Amino acid sequence: MTLSVYLGRHYLLAILSVLIVLAVLAFSFDTVELLRRAAKSSDATLPVVFEMSILKLPSLLTKLFPFAVLFGGMLALTRLTRSQELTVSRAAGVSVWQFLLPGLALVFLLGAFVVTVYNPLSSAMLGRYETLEAKALRGRSSLLAVSSGGLWLREADATGQVVIHALRTARQGIELYDAIFFYFEAGDHFVKRIDAASALLEDGEWVLKEVVVSYPDKPAERLDQLRLPTTLTFNRIQESFASPNTISFWELPSFIATLEQAGFSAVRHRLYFYSLLSLPLLLCGMLLIAASFSLRLTRRGGIGVMLSGGVAAGFLLYFSVELVQPFGLNGTIPAPLAAWAPTVIFLMLGVSLLFHLEDG
């Protein structure tokens, strides 16, 4: 137990050190990019830009955590090998699996902490970031909200706004049923209400059927069909969804159910949910990869080869995620398989390399 605690402390300090370095780099690059984008907007002042960078940083760290475990594990094992501590441990009969066990337990617990405790905080901060970004850099706020009571859409311009509610949708939100259109002038002055049995979004207009137009100061009108101009498009509606990263791990299952009940595809959110579930095991796989590249090579002086191998492993992780996830998003392969594939690949690769190098 004494040796396990000692090794665990080395792993933890190395991983946190690398994570801090990555955090500083991510914050710097993201701030520079936001400043470049803010140069075109008068609403994005310097304090707003720094606030946006701080709000986005926790979400970036979630993506960087596997790389922190990879390079932190390599750093810890390299130090222990060069100081002969692992050599003495192995001479006393401690196998590679025994001195990796504290690290594996540590990163698994860290992964569980990131998913269950850290993720809700980073999701809330990212949601605030996206709200600021939409107002300051894109000049518009979110258009869409989905709840158990139906779908809400908002379209606004300088003269006023239209708020749309529908109980049911089809065709990914471009066809609404039991729809209500509320028209407001500037200053939120109510103008009229339009009820329709169905509304179909076409190029630049809504096509309404079985329409009732109600005014505050005159009788209602009934029409078989009505066409209303709009600036909404299918892509703008899809972009207005809350991104999966802004939803807490604990709220994702209910949000996915609500989204599918409203008639929208929840593949993107389901894929993100399974990716979060696989994170603890992915971190274990990254530590096994780190051990594969650092144990024997450092004993032979191959620091350059070790670093090259670590960088290559990082690119392999990024490439495998970018390669598999699009297949999950378009439905070619199931979402659980697309989310778990990188984890399984790295676990098998790390175990295979260690068996070959240490026990083979």
Q: What is the DSSP letter of 233?
A: -
Q: Residue 226 pLDDT > 60, yes or no?
A: yes
Of the candidates 243, 274, 249, the residue with the CA atom closest to the CA atom of residue 337: 274
- DSSP per-residue string spanning 67-121: HHHHHHHHHHHHHHHHTTHHHHHHHTT--HHHHHHHHHHHHHHHHHHIIIIIHHH
Query: What predicted TM-score, i.e. pTM, was given to this entire model?
Result: 0.77
- How confident is the model at residue 214, as a pLDDT? 92
Q: Residue 68 pLDDT > 60, yes or no?
A: yes
- Both tokens assigned to 50: 């720094």
**Domain boundary assignment for the chain:** 2-138+263-359, 144-239
Q: How confident is the model at residue 18 (pLDDT cuts 50, 70, 90)?
A: very high
Percent of the chain clearing pLDDT 70 (strictly above): 88
Burial of 93 (0-12, 13-18, 19+ CB in 10 A): exposed
Neighbours of 8 (CB within 10 A): 17
41 or 142: which leads in pLDDT: 41
Coarse DSSP helix, strand, coil percentages of the chain, rounded to the nearest 5 percent:
65, 20, 20
pLDDT digits (tens, 9 = 90+) for 284-339: 988 988 888 777 654 455 566 666 766 777 777 777 777 788 888 787 888 888 88
Of the candidates 110, 120, 100, 116, the residue with the CA atom closest to the CA atom of residue 281: 110
Q: Residue 356 pLDDT > 90, yes or no?
A: no
Contact yes or no for 60/307 (Cβ under 8 A): no
- How confident is the model at residue 213, as a pLDDT? 92
Rounded average pLDDT over 63-76: 90
Measured distance CA(190)–CA(169) in Å, rounded: 25
- How confident is the model at residue 274, as a pLDDT? 93
Q: 54-63, 103-112, 137-146, 195-204: which range is least confident on average? A: 137-146
Contacts 24+ apart (CB under 8 A), 50-57: 51/132, 52/129, 52/132, 52/133, 52/136, 53/27, 54/27, 55/125, 55/126, 55/128, 55/129, 55/132, 56/30, 56/125, 56/126, 56/129, 57/23, 57/26, 57/27, 57/30
